[in-house]
Amino acid sequence: MQDLSSAKVLVTGGTGFVGRHLRRRLRQLGCPIVLLARRAEATDTAEQWVVGDLTDAAFVSRTLSTITPDVIFHLASTRERSVTAEAFRHTVVTNLPLAINVFAAASSLPGLTSLVTLGTAEEYGSGSLPFTEPQREAPVSAYSLSKLCITHLAQIMNRAHGLPAVVLRAGILYGPGQPDDMLVAQLFAAARSGEPLPMTLGEQTRDFLFVEDAVDALLQAAMTPAARGEVINVGSGREMRLMDLVRLIEKITGRREIAKLGAKPYRPYEIMRYALDQRKALQVLGWEARTSLDEGMKHTWREIG
């Protein structure tokens, strides 16, 4: 297994939710970190910023050939979960070119040992449960379609060009610093404000994964040669009804009626059941989620409440 402490690491999407948690862990490991982004932020001296547009193939190629990273974490993407024609146009035309540019440039780096990118369990759509990596995907939104395209691109680049790419298909991530357009963050915001969140009845299930466990999986994937070329599920393996999630957050926060269950209809393409098979993650990465939903939600509330 590779040691990351001396690896030069490049991160795209480092200003996002997962990216910020990943950066903190990489700094703890002492890795030299290069952040490829549209704009720089005030940051730790261990981090180097390279500012530019990832849709510019020449810029990406020039940057990667100059930096020559040992490991790449490609996390940059946009999250548009509707099914309008414009949403498909925007999301696919944004997310896929970013990946093509990064993957193509990375494939010519002789010293690259791993490129890890995050997919989504939503790529499976309403497939049979639990979701397993070999089953046929059925994306239900612009976002999951774009992620599925990137998953297949990573595998093609691995087979054709030897790109050491790993795709982690993640469950529903949550934790401190999550964007306020995501359900868990919205429920905690409702608990703080006293304004109930309009929701569906909440009968649908989801597989929730604490962000620090997701970061563990990202680091483990980068350090595991056997993961190269693979698609690997990372989740808790537990189905949780959204109505039960509401009750859990009410218990943790001590607030009542934080959601108006039934105020919104289910979407026509709603995934009603959602759970990930974790066997491959354990077999290949030696990884499994360590944080229970109760522990993760309590930690999140302590940080933001």
CATH no. for residue 163? Answer: 3.40.50.720
What pLDDT shows up at residue 43?
73
Alpha helices per DSSP H over the chain: 17-29, 57-67, 85-106, 142-161, 183-193, 211-223, 242-253, 279-280, 293-304
What pLDDT shows up at residue 305?
64
With beta carbons less than 8 A apart as the criterion, state whether 164 and 112 touch.
Answer: yes
CA distance 287 to 7: 21
Rg (CA), the chain: 19
What pLDDT shows up at residue 12?
97
Per the domain annotation, does 203 fall within a domain?
no
Domain count, the chain: 1
The residue to which tokens 């299930």 are assigned: 205
Per the domain annotation, does 195 fall within a domain?
no
Enclosing domain of residue 98 = 9-175+208-236+275-290
Per the domain annotation, does 136 fall within a domain?
yes
Amino acid making up residue 232: I
CA distance 213 to 217: 6
Per the domain annotation, does 244 fall within a domain?
no
- Class of residue 288 by CB neighbours under 10 A (exposed 0-12, middle 13-18, buried 19+): middle
With beta carbons less than 8 A apart as the criterion, state whether 179 and 217 touch.
Answer: no
Find all residues with CB under 8 Å of 141, minimum gap 6, and list them: 80, 81, 82, 83, 87, 122, 269
With beta carbons less than 8 A apart as the criterion, state whether 47 and 237 touch.
Answer: no
pLDDT digits (tens, 9 = 90+) for 17-46: 999 999 999 999 999 999 999 888 877 677
What pLDDT shows up at residue 123?
96
Per the domain annotation, does 216 fall within a domain?
yes
What pLDDT shows up at residue 83?
77
pLDDT digits (tens, 9 = 90+) for 98-116: 999 999 999 999 999 999 9
Amino acid making up residue 204: Q
For the chain, the farthest-separated pair of C-alpha atoms sits apart, in whole angstroms, at: 57
Per the domain annotation, does 225 fall within a domain?
yes
CA dihedral 60→61→67→68, nearest 10 degrees, is: 130
With beta carbons less than 8 A apart as the criterion, state whether 211 and 236 touch.
Answer: no
CA distance 242 to 245: 5
Per the domain annotation, does 246 fall within a domain?
no
* pLDDT by 10s per residue, the chain, length 305: 568 888 999 999 999 999 999 999 999 999 999 999 988 887 767 799 999 999 999 999 999 999 999 999 999 998 877 778 888 888 888 899 999 999 999 999 999 999 999 999 999 999 999 999 999 999 999 999 999 999 999 999 999 999 999 999 999 999 999 999 899 999 999 999 999 999 999 999 999 999 999 999 999 999 999 999 999 999 998 999 999 999 999 999 999 999 999 999 998 889 999 999 999 999 999 999 999 999 999 999 999 86
With beta carbons less than 8 A apart as the criterion, state whether 299 and 176 touch.
Answer: yes
Per the domain annotation, does 254 fall within a domain?
no
CA distance 199 to 97: 34
